């Protein structure tokens, strides 16, 4: 991707100035193009924020990596059966209590770090006013990379087994948590980095759709879905731990 113009970097800092004729799609003459002079300078010429930020290319890489990490869940019925019949000892270790507990607690640790994003974002308005060091940019990036690491940890914890009953549902809710965010943030970043300035028109609207409103609407949808899954996931995590320690038996894994 080439950036022969300044790059917009945040949904709230969108470029809606005059289109350059040498980039992006040709813009049809009947589209009403907003006057760039009416747009505040910081919105017209946003600066790329300093620090790490997963680019669209990185996010595509992370999505592919996640797809690879999810692949064993598709084939686990076959390979777990082979493990059961041919490598009883290995299978025994992988299903043993110590393995499950260590990998389980590591996964819970990653979940706790994932939740620190909320603490960093909102705690300054809380009663305790906890202040975490580091920029939101940094915490967002850490959150995204650790989210994918958590998928890897869940694969290690479950050995790819889909589980039964409660655990099967719990696993799907976890997949929902990560996939809504990964697809959402990937699409958002793709639009943000795109050299196009206009994205067609909504039915019944005269003005063409620009990056800002498109990303804001997309974000409202994917972030709400992500948070819905996060809420369900956290409640189910508590039940999962309760079932493991106080209701040994129908764990359903393996």
The residues of the shown chain that bind ligand HEM, judged by CB under 6 A, are: 111, 114-115, 117-118, 121-122, 140, 143-144, 147-148, 150, 177-178, 181-182, 185, 223, 226-227, 230, 233
Residue 73 Cβ vs ligand HEM, minimum distance, rounded to whole Å: 15
Q: How far is it, in rounded angstroms, from Cα 229 to Cα 227?
A: 5
Nearer to ligand HEM, 83 or 144 (CB): 144
Residue 87 Cβ vs ligand HEM, minimum distance, rounded to whole Å: 31
Contact 183, 63 (CB under 8 A): yes
Element holding 125 (H helix, E strand): none
Residue 91 Cβ vs ligand HEM, minimum distance, rounded to whole Å: 28
Residue 7 Cβ vs ligand HEM, minimum distance, rounded to whole Å: 18
Using CA atoms, how far residue 223 sits from 166, 183, 219, 252, in Å, is 25, 11, 6, 31
Structure tokens at 217: 């609407």
Best CA proximity match to 150, nearest among 62, 225, 212, 219: 62
Nearer to ligand HEM, 118 or 165 (CB): 118
- Spell out the alpha helix ranges (H) of the chain: 41-44, 56-86, 88-95, 97-122, 136-158, 165-193, 211-246
Q: Which residue is nearest to ligand HEM (CB)?
A: 147
Nearer to ligand HEM, 16 or 177 (CB): 177
Nearer to ligand HEM, 33 or 227 (CB): 227
Q: Which residues pair with 198 in a beta bridge?
A: 210
Residue 108 Cβ vs ligand HEM, minimum distance, rounded to whole Å: 10
Nearer to ligand HEM, 171 or 230 (CB): 230
Nearer to ligand HEM, 80 or 114 (CB): 114
Residue 133 Cβ vs ligand HEM, minimum distance, rounded to whole Å: 17
Structure tokens at 8: 């917009």
CA atoms within 13 A on the CB side of 235: 8
């Amino acid at each position: 991707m080439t950036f022969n113009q300044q790059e917009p970097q945040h949904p709230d800092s969108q470029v809606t100035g005059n289109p350059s004729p040498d980039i992006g799609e040709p813009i049809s003459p009947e589209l009403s193009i907003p006057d760039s002079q009416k747009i505040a300078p910081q919105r017209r010429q946003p600066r790329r924020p300093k620090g790490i930020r997963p680019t669209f290319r990185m996010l595509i890489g992370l999505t592919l990596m996640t797809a690879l990490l999810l692949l064993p869940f598709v084939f686990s019925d076959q390979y777990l059966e082979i493990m059961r019949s041919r490598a009883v000892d290995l299978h025994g270790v992988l299903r043993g209590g110590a393995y499950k507990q260590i990998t389980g607690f590591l996964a819970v640790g990653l979940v706790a770090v994932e939740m620190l994003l909320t603490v960093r974002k909102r705690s300054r308005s809380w009663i305790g006013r906890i202040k975490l060091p580091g920029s939101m940019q940094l915490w967002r990036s850490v959150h995204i990379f650790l989210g994918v690491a958590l998928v890897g940890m869940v694969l290690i914890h479950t050995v790819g087994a889909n589980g039964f009953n409660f655990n099967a549902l719990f696993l799907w809710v976890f997949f929902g948590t990560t996939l809504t965010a990964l697809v959402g943030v990937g699409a958002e970043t793709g639009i943000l980095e795109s050299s196009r300035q206009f994205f067609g028109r909504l039915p019944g609207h005269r003005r063409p759709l620009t990056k800002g409103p498109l990303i804001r609407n997309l974000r409202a949808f994917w972030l709400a879905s992500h948070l819905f899954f996060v809420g369900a996931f956290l409640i189910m995590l508590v039940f999962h731990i309760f079932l493991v320690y106080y209701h040994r038996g129908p764990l359903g894994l393996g």
